[in-house]
Amino acid sequence: MFLMATSAIGPGFITQTTAFTIQLGAAFAFAILASIVVDIAVQLNVWRVIGVAGVRAHELAHEVLPGLGYALAALVVAGGLVFNIGNIAGTGLGIDAMLGVDPVIGGIVSAAIAIAIFLVKRAGMVLDRLVVALGVLMIGLTTYVAVTSGPPVGQALRNAVLPQTVDFLVITTLIGGTVGGYITYAGAHRLLDSGMTGADNAPHIARSSVIGIILTGVMRVVLFLAILGVVAAGASLDPANPAASAFRVAAGEVGLRMFGIILWAAAITSVIGASYTSVSFLTRSSTPERTRNLLTVAFIVIGTVLYVTLGKAPVTLLIFAGAFNGVILPLGFTVILWVAWRRRDLLHGYRYPAWLLGVGVLAWVLTLWLGAQSLGGLAALWS
């Protein structure tokens, strides 16, 4: 659940939350709450089906329709690789804010740290402990800045249920950034590797899936409050890096250093999550762990080389990656719901809860709209 949460909390998450807080103010609280509800509906179904079936998402897709698993894997890997360029760039910017080191050097050092995790013995245990530690660190430091900035909490709470403004595009953007693309599969596939599968573990899988979303939501809320306090006070933020300037306004030079730590932690855990999950779509459940780890190392190396070669995360590629997220979500989720509804054999006879399937269908309709928006964005970019 921490792998999923920290995969969602990346450089884009921080930038996105800051921009929407500046745009909507306290009304952004409603968008956060609404997106969390939909995220839970999606992730409950995805994790339940994958966990009970005991196989990866692309393997399920191939059982539903031969060849579909390859298409899903191609989208996930392509999006994951491009996002990793941005994630590695984020680690460099984080180290720059912390220590004043050149971002390219910081990105290379951070990538080396991520590679080291997958080269050590018992890499899975190291991975689990690291993402938990960094996740707690991010939430703790951001909470400190949120308290320091003195946000109008009462106003935010009112807008959570009675918003002054409702922006559905913002809500769907948050959903795509939390359970779109590879992110929702990160935790589900990690559960498979840890052996937490089968109908007997369904209650545990359900709890883990919900807690993963709640952890992401907590980070979103405290970051929102930290920025809201600065915005509500009328401070002028640097348009080139509003999040960093908000932390500096709230807590001075210490706040800027904290922002560097938070950005680095968010970025490196996203590097790990994107790499791990992308490689999980290139392998099967039976693939030896050492083989998966070596492929993950290669994936990080490729992303690092592209980052250094390009000099920065290319905007056009990142736009394409975001669009991939919107396409992957309805495609993968359709497979999940079809298995839950019609392929009880793949669930080993497990009787899927009707209420959960119903909730999933409602969320699925929204993912179709999100996917249509993403395809529109791809068409516009291509033209």
* Domains of the chain, earliest start first: 2-382 (1.20.1740.10)
**Per the structure block, which two tokens stand in for 341?**
């509804």
Query: Can you give the pLDDT at residue 31?
Result: 92
The Cα–Cα gap between 356 and 349 comes to: 17
**Per the structure block, which two tokens stand in for 138?**
């991010």
How far apart are the two ends of the chain, measured CA to CA in Å? 39
**Per the structure block, which two tokens stand in for 359?**
């909730």
pTM for the complete prediction? 0.88
Q: Examine the pLDDT at 16 and tell me if it is beyond 90.
A: no
Query: Can you give the pLDDT at residue 65?
Result: 94
Residue closest to 2 by CA, chosen among 182, 200, 326, 270 = 270
How many residues can be counted in the chain? 383
Question: Under a CB-based contact definition with an 8 Å cutoff, are residues 179 and 220 in contact?
Answer: no
Q: Who contacts 64 (Cβ-Cβ below 8 Å, separation ≥6)?
A: 335, 338, 339, 343
The Cα–Cα gap between 98 and 261 comes to: 6
Q: Examine the pLDDT at 285 and tell me if it is beyond 90.
A: no
For CA atoms 224, 362, 60, 339, the dihedral sign is positive
Task: Find the farthest-apart pair of alpha carbons in the chain and give their distance in angstroms, rounded.
Answer: 59
Residue closest to 377 by CA, chosen among 315, 314, 320, 317 = 320
Q: Examine the pLDDT at 339 and tell me if it is beyond 80.
A: yes
Residue closest to 139 by CA, chosen among 313, 302, 9, 25 = 9
The Cα–Cα gap between 327 and 176 comes to: 9
Q: Find the Cα–Cα–Cα–Cα dihedral 56, 325, 75, 346, rounded to 10°.
A: 30
Average pLDDT for the chain? 87
Query: Can you give the pLDDT at residue 52?
Result: 95
* Residue indicated by tokens 């920025």: 227
Query: Can you give the pLDDT at residue 221?
Result: 94
Cβ atoms < 10 Å from Cβ of 380: 10
Question: Under a CB-based contact definition with an 8 Å cutoff, are residues 102 and 96 in contact?
Answer: yes
CA distances, 104 to each of 5, 14, 314 (Å): 26, 20, 14
Q: pLDDT per residue over 302-333, tens digit each?
A: 999 998 887 655 555 555 666 666 677 888 89
Question: Under a CB-based contact definition with an 8 Å cutoff, are residues 7 and 277 in contact?
Answer: yes
Confidence at 51, pLDDT banded by 50, 70, 90: very high
Q: pLDDT per residue over 247-278, tens digit each?
A: 898 888 888 899 999 999 989 988 998 999 99
Give me the percent of the chain exceeding a pLDDT of 90: 48
Identify how many contiguous H helices and E strands the chain contains and give both numbers: 15, 0
